[in-house]
Structure 1
Amino acid sequence: MQPHPTLDQFHVFLTVVDKGSFSAASRALNRTQSVISYTIANLEAQLGVPLFFRSGTKRPELTEAGRSVLEDARRLHGDLDLMHARLKALNDGLEGELSVAMTGIVPSDIVIDVLSTFRSRYPTVTLNVTVGTLGIVMDAVIHGRAAVGFGGAMTIGNNPILSQQIGHSAAFPVASSKHPLAKLGRSIDLFDVRDETQLVVYDASGLTKGRDFNVFSLKTWRVSDNATKHSFIRGGLGWGGLPESLVKEDISNGRLIHLDFPAFDQSQHPIFAIHNVANPPGPAARWLTSEFRERLVGAKGSRGSACSIPVSGEHR
């Protein structure tokens, strides 16, 4: 049984292909041409296929098998380069993997913009993103499943959580244009919504159990996330509050109606970046926090400030 090819053999093979000849590869690698030829011959013997045609060509010409091996060799070389980059980043203090958690209160267009830049800036960092309710975000940060969380903030016992205000967001009461509340054509009151189904996001973590925000109807349907809530409201299954960034397009094209409901709190609510004192954010997490702050401030003209944990609800 032939031994497995080595990374060095594939490196020589790639150099021959890229430089266009055995002699050019020998100069690039500072090895004699006979060593280059011997290395390629050994690689072919171990693979059991010829990689180059050797008759009547001035330049090394790949066989069909050689072209197939070339694709695999480039992938192996790329993986090796990526491993070296990750190890260097780890030695420099950069996270190899970053887990973050966020709620739907963070505008989706800003999230996409920031994460796109993150991918280009930190190509070696594997990113894990959890999207959920306020309680899920807090729970992930408290128990170390997320290095940083983005959303509202709340007081939970004596857990060592630090927060920094990075922007603001608002929630609007909305309904499908075909919903009875949308057809009233006037300001609505508590009596109007009492018997209409209100869609509410429930908190699977249990940390906000017993805390309902902006819930007015006697009949409620509870869903696990804002995406489902948005879909149900657009389908006319009920009414409810949704982040401004999530509904602005539907409101502009008339698919959803921004209900004139004075009792619903539509004021700007703060967005926080939170982390556990025992798990301080690394360079990539700090950059992510700074970038979210910059984009949110630019979008809303808000001013972030460091603070201790405030009592703040994420409106649903």
Structure 2
Amino acid sequence: MLTQLTLDQLRILASIVDEGSFSAAGRRLGRVQSAISHAVRNLEDANGVTLFDRSSRRPELTAEGRVLVNQARRVLAQVDTYERMAGAMAAGLEPQLTIAIDPFVPTPAVIDLLAGLRQAFPDIAVTLYTEGIGAAERRIVAGSASIGICALNPFAPVTVQAFRIGSIDMVPVAAKGHPLAGKAALLEPEDLTEHVQLVLTDPLESTGPNFNVVSPTVWRFVDIGRRLDFLLGGFGWGFMPHYLVREHIAAGRLFKLALSDANVLLGAIDVSVIHDRSRTPGRAAQWLLTKMREPNWHETFAHGCLRTDHEGGQIGSVRAY
């Protein structure tokens, strides 16, 4: 029965409701009224229901008609989306965009970026991976992500194309009540080695290179939020992105540890955008790569990531996790 249903009939049904009459729908669609009436009758026959009450001068939707016209609009909207997506893919838009992001990359900058992407490509599907240290680069190399936003490994394969977008200040912190938090004097490296250090690690290569790991006793975390919970719980000390702990420091829940001038552990993470130079980016990926090179987006990324309060000025540019 429903095999006789056509998109043209659904468009006519929606047009009648939008325009208020069969004749007005005919004028909108460039059809004579008799053709409109015939299409509606065929649609009613195909569905086995009466769509319009014709007992008055002006046909009115029946209860069944009100339900089915809403279904018709959904079908037509899906068809429009299908046609847009097919046309966009024919013009080079990838079916899906996959982005891999290191856990310390600030969310507001990513939201701003993807809000613009959604306006430019409203129908594209996006997969966003936020995993442990090293996962973003690994996905780019494996081809399971088109774009990565991460701290680039200095030993990354030559196929990885990268450009720097900014840096994230790292500060050493411990919870209120932790022995290190109560030290009045500047801390030396040997002071830190006496206590458990909480570090962010690669989930697949935990024995790989570590940065700013000085304590012999280390607890490793893949999830940066979970590591923050344990820092707040007093389980150890560790380096954290300043923007993530700023409020905790201000509230006295965490204390920024004062390290000696001789200590070279303070630093910032340089963040880069990466992609595989051997694969041509699709339209959406190319849009993102262009957007992330713009000074305005660099300012968005930097907002809230760089130290701006009374705790001090910029610090070095070594890697710190």
Q: Give the counterpart letter for 2:79 in structure 1.
A: L
Matched residues, number: 305
Q: Give the counterpart letter for 1:245 in structure 2.
A: Y
1:36 aligns with 2:18: no
1:140 aligns with 2:142: no
Residues 233/29 of structure 1: CA separation in 2 closer, same or farther (3 Å cut): same
Where does residue 7 of structure 1 map in the other structure?
Answer: 7
Residues 227/88 of structure 1: CA separation in 2 closer, same or farther (3 Å cut): same
Percent identical among aligned pairs is 34
Query: CA-to-partner distance for each residue in 1:228-255, whole Å, 9 max, x for gaps?
Result: 2123223333322222232223333333
Query: CA-to-partner distance for each residue in 1:194-241, whole Å, 9 max, x for gaps?
Result: 2432222221233x7421111122222212221221232233333222
Q: Secondary structure at the match of 1:181?
A: helix
Where does residue 87 of structure 1 map in the other structure?
Answer: 86
How many Å separate the matches in 2 of 1:181 and 1:8? Answer: 74
CA contact (8 A) 1:9 1:39 kept: yes
Alignment of 1:72-111 (within 5 A): 72-111=71-110
Where does residue 231 of structure 2 map in the other structure?
Answer: 233
CA contact (8 A) 2:104 2:224 kept: no
Higher relative contact order (CA 8 A, sep 6+): 1
Alignment of 1:181-200 (within 5 A): 181-200=180-199
Alignment of 1:206-225 (within 5 A): 206=205, 209-225=207-223
Where does residue 242 of structure 1 map in the other structure?
Answer: 240
Gap regions ≥5 residues in structure 1: 303-311
Q: CA deviation at 1:95?
A: 2.4
Query: CA-to-partner distance for each residue in 1:165-186, whole Å, 9 max, x for gaps?
Result: 1222222222233433223344
Gap regions ≥5 residues in structure 2: 306-316
Q: Give the counterpart letter for 2:226 in structure 1.
A: T
Query: CA-to-partner distance for each residue in 1:59-87, whole Å, 9 max, x for gaps?
Result: x4322222222222222211111112112
How many Å separate the matches in 1 of 2:31 and 2:144? Answer: 50
Query: CA-to-partner distance for each residue in 1:1-30, whole Å, 9 max, x for gaps?
Result: 452522221111111111111111111111
Alignment of 1:1-316 (within 5 A): 1-3=1-3, 5-56=5-56, 58=58, 60-156=59-155, 158-206=157-205, 209-262=207-260, 263=263, 265-293=265-293, 294=295, 295-297=297-299, 300=302, 315-316=320-321
Where does residue 314 of structure 2 map in the other structure?
Answer: none
**Which deviates more, 209-218 or 181-190?**
181-190
**Which deviates more, 244-253 or 25-34?**
244-253
Q: Give the counterpart letter for 1:39 in structure 2.
A: A
Q: CA deviation at 1:158?
A: 4.6
Q: CA deviation at 1:270?
A: 1.9
**Which deviates more, 16-25 or 76-85?**
76-85
TM-score normalized with structure 2 length: 0.85
Query: CA-to-partner distance for each residue in 1:291-311, whole Å, 9 max, x for gaps?
Result: 334322455499xxxxxxxxx
Q: Give the counterpart letter for 1:52 in structure 2.
A: F
Residues 41/249 of structure 1: CA separation in 2 closer, same or farther (3 Å cut): farther
How many Å separate the matches in 1 of 2:235 and 2:114? Answer: 33
How many Å separate the matches in 1 of 2:290 and 2:236? Answer: 37
Q: CA deviation at 1:164?
A: 1.2
